[in-house]
Amino acid sequence: MNAIPGPKSPAALARVLAAFRDSVPAGLMLLQANYGDVCAVGFWPFRWVFLFGPDANELVFSDLDTFRFAGGYEILRPIAGDTALVVTDGDEHARRRSAIQSSFARKKIEGYTQLMLERLDSAISGWSPGQRINVYMEIREAIREATLEAFAGDRLARSGSYIIQHLNEVHDSMNRSMLKSLLAWNLQFLINHKAKRALASIDIEIYSEIARRRRERDYGEDLISAMLMAGESGAALTDREIRDMLMSLLIASYDPVSSALGWAVYSMLSSSEVWSRARSEVIAVCGQDTVSVSDVRRLSYLAAIVNETLRLYPAVVASPRVAASPFEFGGFHFSAGTHVLASEYVTHHLEAVWPDAERFLPDRWDRSAAGHRAPTPYEYLPFGTGPRRCLGGGLAATCVPAVLARLLQRTELRGDPGRPRLSGIAALTPRDGVWATVAPIDKPLGLSAAQR
């Protein structure tokens, strides 16, 4: 076995850290380009092994016994809690996951999507021709409000501005520089004190609502209700488990979804042909009617736009794990306890897998095109793959094209030049937002009688 490649000199390490300071994707791509599909950075206990490419993904995502979540996502433990899905494995993880599985069934997703469309309609109603807006932030607020109501119910949603303010502080703490985050993964006391205070404030609201519902047996259609009712079918969750599940799912839902929407809008606005072609498809399928979830399934070009957006800008750029036992990969031997990181982002940008990998080409998803090759689950994995694929993948696959279709029906936008900088650790976000100018539109489609 040879020594694992990686930056050895102070100068080489400085170059890697500088790339990560620019963005996590920049650092990952530099490592793969300079050191190959297997490399290591740092020294114990701050040493990470990076495994790149489809073969690495298959190894890490399919072998749940060797590659454990617990220990890999330590930066999330103080925020999401000790019992959250993202920091647990085995039977306890399976029990908790089963308790919320029904909340991500098709009918539930359709309800969530409708909430998001209603919030988006409210935002669009405040736009006027000539106005310059941050489309990403406008969509993000709408998605966040809808997610809070769908997951936490009406009563907590009425405290939305208070809870959202504190959720913002939590997200800010998660999206610090890569170096600070790597340290925080290993040194828990570095977690931002402001974020801890924000979490304490949110916890008061959540625990109070859980206690009230248990006392009054007040169950609705939201995620909290699903977890409370799971107890009646033999999968009882404690108050702590319900809190952790809710908090982690709030964190893992609206930010990735709104980021995907922001990048999709940016990509569409970067080409007038893409925007106009997508709008023509929406008009042809939906006509004068408001967009519905069933319509979304017939919008093939819009689906290709979403797929291509998630290829170029996957919400999760890298997936950390800890090896529970020794393993070998790429001619190298690794011991138990090794911190491993596989990268969805790098895989999605490999020229060997995706010709013209850096170009936004929705037509590469056209199955009828000559030479089309469908990617394997380990070549395209914006929501992970295998038994622990993200529960929210189905939600994103429905609500992202639905929101885009609604936007195309009701607005005409002119995008600013230049790509936003990549940012974020919890999700890949456009650091500078996605700015556009609202253009006049002759006849907005899909308006209800009240909106007309």
> Residue 123: which pLDDT band, with cuts at 50, 70 and 90?
very high
Higher pLDDT, 78 or 131: 131
**For residue 46, is it within any domain?**
yes
pLDDT for the residue numbered 272: 82
Does residue 5 form part of some domain? no
Query: pLDDT tens digit string along 57-100?
Result: 999 999 999 999 998 887 777 778 899 999 999 999 999 998 88
Is the pLDDT score of 24 beyond 70? yes
pLDDT of residue 416: 87
Mean pLDDT (whole number) for 114-129: 94
Strands 48-51 vs 339-342: parallel, antiparallel or unpaired: parallel
Spatial distance between the Cα atoms of 349 and 347, rounded to a whole number of angstroms: 5
| pLDDT above 70 for 234 | no
Residue 184, domain member (yes or no): yes
Q: Is the pLDDT of residue 172 over 80?
A: no
- The confidence band for 50, taking pLDDT boundaries of 50, 70 and 90, is very high
Stretch among 87-101, 143-157, 167-181 having the lowest mean pLDDT? 167-181
CB 128 within 8 A of CB 411: no
Q: What is the pLDDT of residue 48?
A: 93
> Does residue 222 fall inside a structural domain?
yes
Residues 1, 259: Cα–Cα separation, whole Å: 41
Instruction: Tell whether 1 is covered by a domain.
Output: no
pLDDT at position 185 is 47
Count of the separate structural domains present in the chain: 1
DSSP helix, strand, coil percent of the chain (3-state; round to 5): 55, 10, 35
Write the CATH number for 41: 1.10.630.10
Q: Is residue 443 part of a domain?
A: no
CA of residue 234 relative to chain centroid, distance:
31
How confident is the model at residue 442, as a pLDDT? 65
* Structural domain contains residue 48: yes
Flag the least confident range among 58-72, 174-188, 394-408: 174-188
> Residue 138 domain-assigned?
yes
Listed range (110-124, 172-186, 319-333) with the worst mean pLDDT? 172-186
In the chain, the amino acid numbered 418 is: G
The reported pLDDT for the residue numbered 77 is 79
Greatest mean pLDDT among 156-165, 283-292, 361-370 = 361-370
Check if the beta carbon of residue 72 is closer than 8 Å to that of residue 339: yes
Q: Are 175 and 424 in contact (CB under 8 A)?
A: yes
> Residue 202's pLDDT band (boundaries 50, 70, 90)?
confident
pLDDT at 107 over 70: yes
Question: 394 pLDDT exceeds 90?
Answer: no
Sheet holding 48-51, edge to edge: 38-41, 48-51, 339-342, 319-323, 67-68
Q: What is the reported pLDDT for 175?
A: 58
Kindly tell me if the per-residue pLDDT of 8 is higher than 50.
yes
Instruction: Using the CB atoms, write b or e for 327-362: b if 16+ within 10 Å.
Output: bebbebebeeebbbbbbbbbbbbbeebbeeeeebbb
pLDDT in tens, 331-378: 999 999 999 999 999 999 999 999 999 999 999 999 998 878 899 999
The whole domain housing 178 covers: 10-438
How high is the pLDDT of residue 449?
A: 47
- Backbone torsions φ then ψ of 29, nearest 5 degrees: -65, -35
Query: What's the confidence (pLDDT) of residue 363?
Result: 95
Which pLDDT does position 303 carry in this prediction? Answer: 96
Q: How far is CA 207 from CA 99, 200, 263, 307, 416, in A?
A: 18, 10, 35, 38, 44
The model's pTM = 0.91
> What pLDDT was estimated at residue 162?
66
Instruction: Report the pLDDT averaged over residues 282-306.
Output: 90
C-alpha–C-alpha distance, residues 330 and 328, integer Å: 7
Mean pLDDT computed over 306-310: 97
Tell me what the pLDDT averaged over the chain comes to.
Answer: 88
User: Using CB atoms within 10 A of its CB, is residue 244 exposed (0-12), middle (13-18) or buried (19+)?
Assistant: buried
Q: How confident is the model at residue 121 (pLDDT cuts 50, 70, 90)?
A: very high
